[in-house]
Structure 1
Amino acid sequence: MRFELTTLCYMICAALLFIIAYTKVGQKEAVYGVKSSLALFFQILPLIIAAMIMGGLIQVIVPKELIEQFLGTGSGIRGIVTGGVAGSVMPGPPYASLPIVASLLRSGAGIGPMVALVTAWALWRINLIPLEIAFISPKFMVIRFFATFIFPVIAGLIAQLIIMRFITYP
């Protein structure tokens, strides 16, 4: 198990927030905050486990050559567009979607297509469309979609250019 700097920073922040809560609102409320966060953790834990398993299984089920062909660095604009389309239909929160992206990267997907995928996921998640229509309006949803339509492709192309010109990525 790898212990990363990010994990350490989060743990330090959590400890500091607990100390602040303890001094501002008292032990009972600080402990309640920890208990409610643990309840949320156990609520989302099955989704995280399922996403991790899916990510691992993608690596062994989908042939690396297929991922490289459709989403690899050499797939060009087609791979970037494919990544964007995949991101637009990928449901779920980051802790469910990002393990799949990590798995695709380990299996040969290129940075450009994966940046397009994550950008499209963030902008157009298919499960947001009915919510936008219900809470805001169909007109807003259509305008927002067309206003952001090209961004995943642009982001993927920029990422690909950065990798090709400036960075050696494993």
Structure 2
Amino acid sequence: MSNSSSFCPVPKEQQPINEYQELQSSWFFGWVKLDPGKYITKLLWVGIWSLIVTAPLAAASFPIAKYPIQFGICTIVGSSIFVMLATVRLYLGWIYVKNRLYGESIFYEESGWYDGQTWLKTPEILTRDRLLVSYEIQPILARIKNTFFTLIGATIAVIISWLLIY
């Protein structure tokens, strides 16, 4: 990889392949590369920690002693919103790198916001980057989308149960 990118004028930290590797090894964005059990566990932890915020808010609206079902539903829906926001953030990070890898050119900044340049990828780099997108990033994006739509479906089911209570 380093031989084909050695003539690339794009600073190392702005090269899409390096952005991909950095994202892949990061604490948060690396979650989607974990096996399914660990990935779901991470998202469950987001949900559990978000209960710290959502439970008191739900208790303010629905005292647990008087409205336990409404309290529970409110807490679950509120918590699922935090998990959905986490999945949206995962998606945005990975789609950014996907677009940078898939594009024929790379926009980069040499020393600041005022001196942006565009570099056309060589055919070899473009092919490598697009293969990376096809075999590595597309499955990641599919996993995040499936997670998000599962959360949406579960949240809608909980909201429907709320409507059935009244």
TM-score with structure 1 setting the length: 0.29
Quick one: higher RCO (CA 8 Å, sep 6+), 1 or 2? Answer: 2
Give the number of the structure whose residues are more often strand, by fraction: 2
Which of structures 1 and 2 has the bigger CA Rg? 2
TM (norm. structure 2) is: 0.29
Structure that is richer in helix per residue? 1
